[in-house]
Chain A
Amino acid sequence: MKISRDILLAIALLLLIGLVAMRFPGFATPQSLASVFNDSAILIILALGQMAVILTRCIDLSMASNLALVGMITAMTNAAYPMVPVVVLVMMAIVLGAALGGINGLLVWKAGIPPIVVTLGTLTIFRGIIFLLTDGQWVNAHEMSASYKAFPRAELLTLPALSWLAIAIIVGMAIFLSRSPAGRAMYAAGGNPDAAVYAGIDTGRTRARAFVVAGALAGLCGYLWVSRYAVAYVDVAGGFELDVIAACVIGGVSIAGGVGTVLGCVLGALFLGVIKNALPVVDISPFWQLAISGAAIIIAVVLNARAERRPGRLILEQSSDSSLPVSHS
């Protein structure tokens, strides 16, 4: 079932690329598709983090703010101390992001506040902190060191480092979620929390862990985003959290938790990425662009919801043919 849905989405993605190529043939060249992948890399990484959270029946609205705050901090550090090597900045971004995610996780786990409320709060708090740090000032291209800006662009075997990083994280997440006990626990904690508890899984800890994973990836993306666009300001990635959630939903990750594959999530992010890159080249009025993006999301969700719907079950048999009453899950 899950596999067929991923294949369906892959076919839809190819159809979409084909449609765009009909209007603008240059779109389907390997070079152009590689640049679509590179442009979508940050969305893919964030969507994978979001997926871990959604799997546990939570949601993280603060990812884009986390990204912006960590991105700003790395940019300010780089501007003030250009000699700090980029590797250290990347490490710092991941650790900082994980710490911010940890705040979400702790509030959800220990304080028992609903995740949507917690992350709605941290969404504005993180943005607010950026303003306090910067007074609204930008960190601009000429204030960043050359190596800071060069890393995501460095080419290796014709693909930029940003794309390779996304590929590495896709593989890493796929192994983590399907092979590690902590990853399996995320499916269990979201799929059926009560059963998970009986199976000896601490659902609260698992949720907090998912938030830390999402935070670490958001922090990493903070550096990637700022160095990619060579500018840091308060509104960086404003509203991007919704794109990230949309990518998950299109990719078949169930908002109700417990359902979702890494492949589906990546395809969902690529689907949005292709739309975003295609709309500028097919020359459609900007008013239609918004409507088309929105329609694509709704269609994908409707298809997913239909695929997810289980056939009705009989709870009480009328005749005494069956000896075992079907229990209600």
Chain B
Amino acid sequence: MKITRRLLLATAVASGLAMGGAAQAQDNIRIALVVKALGIGFFEAAAKGAEEAAAELGNVELIYTGPTDTTAEGQIEVINSLIAQRVDAIAISANDPDALVPALKKAQQRGIKVISWDSGVAPEGRAVHLNPSSNPLIGNMIIKLAADHLPDGGQVAVLSATSTSTNQNTWIEEMNKVMSDYPGIEVVSTVYGDDLADKSYREAEGLMATHPDLAAIIAPTSVGIVAAAQAVTDAGKVGQVNVTGLGLPSEMAGHIESGASKSFAIWNPIDLGYSAVMLAHDLVDGAEAGPGATLSMGRMGELTLDDNSEGAMADPFIYDASNIDDFKDIF
């Protein structure tokens, strides 16, 4: 981790020197990517995407920064120092939606464009918020993941967290709305593992026992998907029951390798960092943010803002045997 950070710093310094040499430093747009805390794999990956965007735009100088622990106080210090440095834009993943508002308001008064990404800031503190995905996109993705490996249709079951978990229920609801797009796929049961490894494991065992023809288990929760994959492996049903849903590459790498899970999805932090920088650049270039506005995210397409000036980046990113090794050490 330390080495990568030092490398990042070195490249940043090197590119800074190169730019300086070309005497273009004054024209550069300086965009600060502020993360919840330094040293977290997810954000290091986002920084990688941000660099990609900066390289693509050419005239962007990227400042990757954040506090050493995930506190709002630490981020406020960072923001104040960025204001002092007179950066052009701040793209922040906030540790607290409200506590950062005064500092970010101050930044906006000095003409700095502020967007939040991943974890949002209250609307008065930023111009735009970039969500990694949206509930309809996630609902569609989890059933698509199962259906992609079932060309002839089949029975699938959902293993959720708790029965009262809001985001899980919303995603399952959105999934049910688009079921007509996947003929032949039948959701036979929805069970709840309460995000406990042992309960999720038993629920997965129960699903396999009650539905002998079960072809896939969809678990849109990181504890559930790992437990279900283990249950399928232990039952000797690898290849017969595919476990999919939402999970983290580091946690799922072993189960992708064993074949218990053919693929799963989660937002791609690289794309997220890339899009955040692209949006910030668009705003600095003079684009107006507001309800209904459309902003550019480079290769990720366009972001249309809703009434809260929020937008969803894209479908969750699919991870499978072909790319898991690139991501398993990142987050």
Residues of chain A whose beta carbon lies under 8 Å from any beta carbon of chain B: 24, 26-27, 32, 35, 39, 138, 140-144, 153, 225, 229-231, 235-240, 276-277, 279-281, 283, 286-287
- Assess the A281–B251 pair: CB atoms within 8 A: no
Closest A residue to B199 using CB positions: A276
Closest B residue to A152 using CB positions: B234
Distance A39 CA – B231 CA, assembled complex (angstroms)? 11
Measured between C-beta atoms, what is the minimum distance from A277 to chain B in Å? 6
Chain B residues with CB under 8 Å of A279's CB are 206
Interface residues of B in 229-264 (CB under 8 A from A): 230, 234, 250-255, 257
Closest A residue to B188 using CB positions: A283
- Assess the B205–A277 pair: CB atoms within 8 A: yes
Chain A residues with CB under 8 Å of B163's CB are 286-287
- Assess the A140–B251 pair: CB atoms within 8 A: yes
Total of A-B residue pairs, C-beta within 8 Å: 74
- Assess the B209–A237 pair: CB atoms within 8 A: no
- Assess the B250–A138 pair: CB atoms within 8 A: yes
Distance A24 CA – B206 CA, assembled complex (angstroms)? 11
Chain B residues with CB under 8 Å of A27's CB are 209
Surface stretch bound by A, among B112-120, B134-142, B147-155, B190-198: B190-198
Closest B residue to A232 using CB positions: B197
| Count class of interface residues, chain B | 20 to 34
- In the complex, which of the residues A144, A153, A229, A237 contacts B201, with contact meaning CB atoms closer than 8 Å? A229
Q: Beyond A39-B201, A141-B255, A280-B206, list 6 extra A-B contacts (CB 8 Å).
A: A39-B202, A140-B252, A142-B253, A230-B226, A230-B254, A238-B196
Measured between C-beta atoms, what is the minimum distance from A149 to chain B in Å? 9
- Assess the B197–A229 pair: CB atoms within 8 A: yes
In this complex, the member of A144, A225, A286 whose beta carbon has the largest number of chain B beta carbons within 10 angstroms is A286
Contacts A231-B226, A286-B163 known; A281 to B206 CB distance under 8 Å? Answer: yes
- Assess the B254–A280 pair: CB atoms within 8 A: no
Distance A231 CA – B210 CA, assembled complex (angstroms)? 26
User: Is B328 on the interface with A (CB-CB < 8 A)?
Assistant: yes
- Assess the A229–B251 pair: CB atoms within 8 A: no
User: Is B313 on the interface with A (CB-CB < 8 A)?
Assistant: no
- Assess the A237–B198 pair: CB atoms within 8 A: yes
User: Is B289 on the interface with A (CB-CB < 8 A)?
Assistant: no
Measured between C-beta atoms, what is the minimum distance from B227 to chain A in Å? 6
Interface of A is mostly: helix
Measured between C-beta atoms, what is the minimum distance from B235 to chain A in Å? 9
- Assess the B209–A231 pair: CB atoms within 8 A: no
- Assess the A26–B209 pair: CB atoms within 8 A: yes
User: Is B189 on the interface with A (CB-CB < 8 A)?
Assistant: yes
Measured between C-beta atoms, what is the minimum distance from A263 to chain B in Å? 24
User: Is B207 on the interface with A (CB-CB < 8 A)?
Assistant: yes
Distance A238 CA – B193 CA, assembled complex (angstroms)? 13
Q: What are 29 pairs between A and B in contact, CB < 8 Å?
A: A24-B209, A27-B209, A32-B209, A35-B205, A39-B205, A140-B250, A140-B252, A140-B254, A141-B226, A142-B253, A143-B254, A225-B198, A229-B198, A229-B226, A229-B230, A230-B230, A231-B197, A231-B227, A235-B196, A236-B197, A237-B198, A277-B206, A279-B206, A280-B191, A280-B203, A280-B205, A280-B210, A283-B189, A286-B163
Distance A32 CA – B210 CA, assembled complex (angstroms)? 12
Measured between C-beta atoms, what is the minimum distance from B233 to chain A in Å? 8
In this complex, the member of B191, B199, B254 whose beta carbon has the largest number of chain A beta carbons within 10 angstroms is B254
Chain A residues with CB under 8 Å of B209's CB are 24, 26-27, 32, 280-281
Measured between C-beta atoms, what is the minimum distance from B86 to chain A in Å? 35
Measured between C-beta atoms, what is the minimum distance from B238 to chain A in Å? 13
Measured between C-beta atoms, what is the minimum distance from A225 to chain B in Å? 8
Distance A287 CA – B162 CA, assembled complex (angstroms)? 10
Distance A140 CA – B248 CA, assembled complex (angstroms)? 10
Chain A residues with CB under 8 Å of B201's CB are 39, 229
- In the complex, which of the residues A35, A138, A238, A280 contacts B251, with contact meaning CB atoms closer than 8 Å? A138
- In the complex, which of the residues A39, A229, A283 contacts B210, with contact meaning CB atoms closer than 8 Å? A283
Closest B residue to A229 using CB positions: B197
Distance A239 CA – B196 CA, assembled complex (angstroms)? 10
In this complex, the member of A141, A238, A239, A240 whose beta carbon has the largest number of chain B beta carbons within 10 angstroms is A141
Contacts A24-B210, A229-B197 known; A280 to B230 CB distance under 8 Å? Answer: no
Distance A283 CA – B191 CA, assembled complex (angstroms)? 9
Closest B residue to A39 using CB positions: B202
